[in-house]
Structure 1
């Protein structure tokens, strides 16, 4: 398991209740599962994550399956919900 940071922007920040938090996992899927498990019973963040794009260390994840996106020590995941007016 690797340790890193997840940063939330716009609607993701509001749904998470924080701008960033420390996470651990081996893949992006692991990281997302762990942040959702911390908020058991509150599905606001899950709804936002389902619509969001992700960057890992400034590199777009794109359409790759999250279970195949490696998460290594010191990684930063940026959660970018859809933005209006862009």
Structure 2
């Protein structure tokens, strides 16, 4: 397994990767696949209060950020 989890958000494929943060906690990043099937860009989850305590919190933050980006930019997502 490569560390990514595929999600469908608003009909768009989103890969999320949760990453351990130093010295503790987790962060996440995501990529959105557009309709054209082009190579997706990585978009970091912007953390306002430091890393998340659990992997689940980091994953949910990435999914939320991806949803916001999809809604702002349409199905291309980037």
Q: Taking structure 2 as the reference length, what is the TM-score of the superposition?
A: 0.28
Pick the structure with more strand per residue. Answer: 2
Q: Taking structure 1 as the reference length, what is the TM-score of the superposition?
A: 0.26
Higher RCO (CA < 8 A, seq sep 6+): 1
